[in-house]
Structure formats: structure tokens, C-alpha cells
Amino acid sequence: MFSGNFSEKDKQEISIDVVDANSMSIIVRYMRLGLIDLAELSLPTIGELAIAANFLQITELIKQIEYCLELQLSKCNWLEIMAIAENASYKSLEQRCAAYGLYDFKLMKAEFIESINKLVWYLSHTHLNSETELQVFKFGVDWIIKHDKSADALLLILGCLDVYRLKEEELKDMKILVKHFQHCLAEKVIDCLYTLATDCRIICCGKMNERKKMLCEMYTERIYMETFNLVNNSKKRQLKFKPCVAVWSRDPDPDMLDAKPHYLYTINNMNEFEPWLEVTEMCLWGWKFVAWGITKIVIVCGERRKGTGFFWKGVKIYDALKKEWIEHGVELPIRRHGGVAIVDDSLYIIGGVGGYRVVLDTAIVYDLKQRNYRKIAKFPDAIQSPAVCVYNRKVYASSHKNIYRYEDDEVQDKWVIALETDIRLSCMVSYKGYIYCTQSYFNDLYRFRPNVDTRLQRITSFDISPSTMCLFGNKLLAFESTDATQLAKVNIEEYDEDSEDRSPKLLWSRDNSPFIINDVAGSCAVVDSAPPLATEISDYVQRRLEDYHDCYSK
């Protein structure tokens, strides 16, 4: 500006309307020193600075601001940082903020959303990571109560739901949730949907048309039309997960399996099995991976070639949104074939095999944000490859006989028996209020409800004994393969709790496969694309939102 061919070159005084004085002073200081501690600044100040840096095209400062804001992302400020990114035209940061809020829906609270417009954008977003629509409705009702809004807002919350996903039991719970909003229109609409779901099992406009006379007699024509418009305008959730499982190239010598490259395979849109990601260039034996949230994969443990005694002690993280690897330069205790699970930002590593092939009963917790670890109470059994899962933010692990839950009351931590069993489980997955379990040498699928059931319940059986299972959206995926020394067969089966016969569905199968499932490493499902920032709300919600604002403006 001052040394090039610009008009400001010859002026003694210039005016820059876009940049405020405070931001300009910070930028001048940055120009002199070459660095600035953004952590000392408040978010509003960083927001103004972000706009100024973008206007003045100071590339390095823009990168520093984006990095600082991403580090500060939390469940209470992601909408504020997202607004800063939008105002400063930081599109990549804006998308990461949206992904943070939408994909970590389970961690969000109603008090973090200030306006009803933001609430509608959030709850109606097609990529909201909600296990059920009942969870979304509860969030909306909680927001209405905390912000002291009228029952009119309930219709807006109903309009945000994917009505086609609603089940009879969910609608029954929704009726209870709105009981203190007595005699409101939303209560009648929910009751009408409940009647339809009870009678037809599914909710759709066709079923409503067939029962129009009956529903009008039960609820009046106005309530019928309100319900019909709600169903007709409902938008479906579109969040797509990518299931991934570790495989080995098939080799007649099992001891040579660890010498082959390690890949994660996935299922494409044609339900075909295909390679997705080479996870490491190292020849590791007994490595493990687990999903951190729904966009990251964490890899730990392993011995560099079986029997060498040289262990990998680090942590590698793959960010599926950024398509990049991050390596933590840490020195974890040596271990292979450990059981792993993540609660929030804490990685639990349990049991496994250490130096001199000693089977371990030790356990640690590694903080993925702070990059340090601590020892926790010893597991009741020394065990290799324990089945581990997370249920209601508690870690469950299977020993040779029993299933234990980790408890920490800040005075003493311990493992307590959650369920007594007479079998050793190879895999556990938390799914729809249950923990589902399999055993290595049998095809059966079991389940139990923590704190309720006292024994495992057999549900169904698979074609082949599952090597590993993972949660895939609202379904369970089982990855199966026969022994490597045989003519290997690989299957992928899908189990849906809501199916009528509860029988697994075969998605993909291959005989004489060139690879087998790595039954040690595990499996998970992630999302590898950012959510769209602008999604159209339905006509029903748009009309209700206009009526809502008109009502309150008067």
C-alpha cells in the first residue's frame, strides 16, 4: 500500500473503514515483531482481527488466527467461532466448526444456543449426528424450557425432525415430554403421529391418506392437515458413515502376516469391499485402532514384527476430514494386543502383552488433548485382546469370565463386575440401550442391558463367527472371515435391531479371498466429509418460523 503504485503512497493520512483502531494496532505490532500471542485476546477481539487480517490479506496471520480458533473450539463456543469464521470468510474453519457442533451432538447442551433461528438450523440440519429423533426432540424441549418460550415453539421443533425415523416408543416418550404444555396444537399433532405409528408401524403421507376419515374424526380436520403438512415437508437425515476394518494380505504362513502392509478397508456405495487407507508403513504385530468421535481414527500399540521385542510406543491419529495424519511424540508403556476405547478425549488401553511375552493386567488412560498418560487400577485378569466398549460414557471390558465396568469417584478407582458370564467374549459394541457381544469361535450374537440384566441374552447368529463388529449409523456391522490357512471366505453382515425378524442381512461375501479380516486391530465407522453450511429448511418450518417471529414482534 505504501511502497507500491497505490494512491495511499503519497498521502499523509489514510482511512480504512473495514479495520478498527484496536485491530490495526495489533496488526502493526505483529508487523514489527513477526508474532503475536492470540491466546491473550478475547474471542470478539480475535473476530475483529480476523476480518482485518483477511481484508489486508496478511496470509501468515490468517493461518495463525485459524489455528488458534480451532484449538479453542468447545461445545460452548463453536457457534460463536463459526460466526467469526463466516464474517471473516474463513470457509474451511467455518466448516470445521459446523462439523464439530453437528457431529458431536451428544455432547451439546441447549444453553449454548442463543436464538431460535440457530436452534432451527442446528436441529433441522440433514447431517446432525443423532441416534434417534427423540434425542433431537428432547434437546428442543429443553431449549424451550430454559429460554422460557411458549408452546408455539414446539411445532418448530417437530418440523426439525426426520418424521420418517420416528418409532412408536419414541412418540410415546414425546407425549410424556409435552404433558406440561397441555392442550397445545403440538401435543395433538404428536398424538396423531402416535396413532398412525401404532396402527401402521411407519409414518408416511400415503398411510395418512388411507386413514384420513378416521384421523379427522379422532382429532379434527385442522389437526390432520397440520400433521399431514408436517409429514409431507419432513426432510431426511443424510449423514453417511464410512465403515472401516483392518485386513491382512492372505499368506500361508501366519507368522508372516505382520510383515505385510496394513490397510483399512471400507464398503462403497455398491456394497463392495475396497481398500480405503494404508494405516502405517511400519510392520506392526498386535496394533489397535479406535474411532475418536466420528471423524478421527487413533492407532496405538504394537510390536515391530512378531517376537522381536521392539515395540512401538507412539500414537498416530488420522483426521478423516482434513485427510492428514498427526503423530504424537510420546513414550507409552510397551504393549501389543491391548483393549482400547475412548471416552471424550481419554484413550483407555487395557491388558495386552508386554515385554518377554508377559500377559498384562495393567491399564492406562492417555489424554489425547494434553498428550500425557496416567496409570489406573489394574484389571482383575491378565488378558490378551480383551473386548472393550463404552456405554453411557463408562468403559466396559471383558475378562476370561466376567464383564467389568471402570469406576472412578475421584477418591478411588476400581473395576466392578457389571455382568457375570461363563464365556470369554471377543467383541462388545454399545448399541441402542444394550451392549452387544460375540465370542471368537461361535456365530451367536448376545446382548445385555447394563445395570438391568443379570445374564447374556442370545439374539441371533451370523453365517461365520464375527472377527469384529462396529456401529454403522443405526445398525451393527459384523466383519467375518475364516482361518487364513483355509480357502478364506470373507463376509460382511448387517444387523438391524428394528428389523421384524432380527436376522442379519448379508451385504457382501467372497470365497477364496486374497485377504482376511485382522481380528486383533478392530473396526469402526467414521465420517470423512464436512457437512454443508447452507441447508434448506422445509416449507413447513419456514412458515412456522415466520409465524413465530410475527407473534413475538407484536
Q: What type of residue sits at position 354?
A: G
Kindly report the three-state secondary structure assignment for every residue of 482-494.
Answer: CCCCCCCEEEEEE
Mean pLDDT score, 349-353? 97
Q: What type of residue sits at position 357?
A: R
- pLDDT given for residue 549 in this prediction: 78
Give the pLDDT confidence of 210-255 residue by residue, as tens digits.
Answer: 999 999 999 999 999 999 999 999 999 999 999 999 988 776 565 5
Percentage of the chain surpassing pLDDT 90?
A: 72
- pLDDT given for residue 282 in this prediction: 62
Q: Is 112 exposed, middle or buried (0-12, 13-18, 19+ CB in 10 A)?
A: middle
Using 50, 70 and 90 to split pLDDT, how confident is the model at 400?
A: very high
Q: Are 435 and 447 in contact (CB under 8 A)?
A: yes
**Closest-CA residue to 41 (of 62, 57, 23):** 23
CA atoms of 476 and 496, how far apart (whole Å):
6
Average pLDDT, the chain: 91
CA atoms of 442 and 95, how far apart (whole Å):
44
Q: Are 242 and 529 in contact (CB under 8 A)?
A: no
Give the pLDDT confidence of 115-151 residue by residue, as tens digits.
Answer: 999 999 999 999 999 989 999 999 999 999 999 888 8
DSSP-derived 3-state class of residue 388: strand
Give 373's contacts (C-beta < 8 A, 6+ positions apart). 330, 332, 364, 365, 366, 367
* Cell numbers linked to 98: 459446523
Mean pLDDT score, 28-50? 89
CA atoms of 325 and 318, how far apart (whole Å):
5
**Closest-CA residue to 415 (of 381, 389, 462, 449):** 381
Measured CA distances, 518 to 248, 263, 288, 466, 476 (Å): 6, 10, 10, 11, 18
* Cell numbers linked to 147: 429460554
Secondary structure element (H or E) that encloses residue 276, with its range: strand 273-280
| Confidence check: pLDDT of 258 > 80 | no
CA atoms of 168 and 172, how far apart (whole Å):
6
**Closest-CA residue to 115 (of 159, 153, 151):** 153
Q: Which letter does DSSP use for residue 336 in this model?
A: B
| Confidence check: pLDDT of 281 > 80 | no
CA atoms of 379 and 335, how far apart (whole Å):
15
Q: Are 209 and 216 in contact (CB under 8 A)?
A: no
Q: For the chain, what is the radius of gyration of the CA atoms? A: 27
**Closest-CA residue to 197 (of 162, 164, 150, 244):** 164
| Confidence check: pLDDT of 277 > 80 | yes
| Confidence check: pLDDT of 552 > 90 | no
Q: Are 161 and 133 in contact (CB under 8 A)?
A: yes
Its pTM stands at: 0.90
- pLDDT given for residue 254 in this prediction: 55
CA atoms of 468 and 521, how far apart (whole Å):
9
Q: CB-hemisphere CA count at 13 Å for 472?
A: 21
DSSP-derived 3-state class of residue 89: coil
Around Cβ 324, how many Cβ atoms within 10 Å?
Answer: 9
- Write down the H helix ranges in 17-58: 21-33, 43-55
Greater confidence, 1 or 269?
269
| Confidence check: pLDDT of 98 > 60 | yes
Mean pLDDT score, 77-94? 95
Mean pLDDT score, 499-519? 87
How many residues in total does the chain contain? 554
Using 50, 70 and 90 to split pLDDT, how confident is the model at 280?
A: low
Q: Are 295 and 321 in contact (CB under 8 A)?
A: yes
Mean pLDDT score, 310-324? 95
CA atoms of 229 and 38, how far apart (whole Å):
49
Using 50, 70 and 90 to split pLDDT, how confident is the model at 535?
A: confident
| Confidence check: pLDDT of 473 > 90 | no
- pLDDT given for residue 305 in this prediction: 82
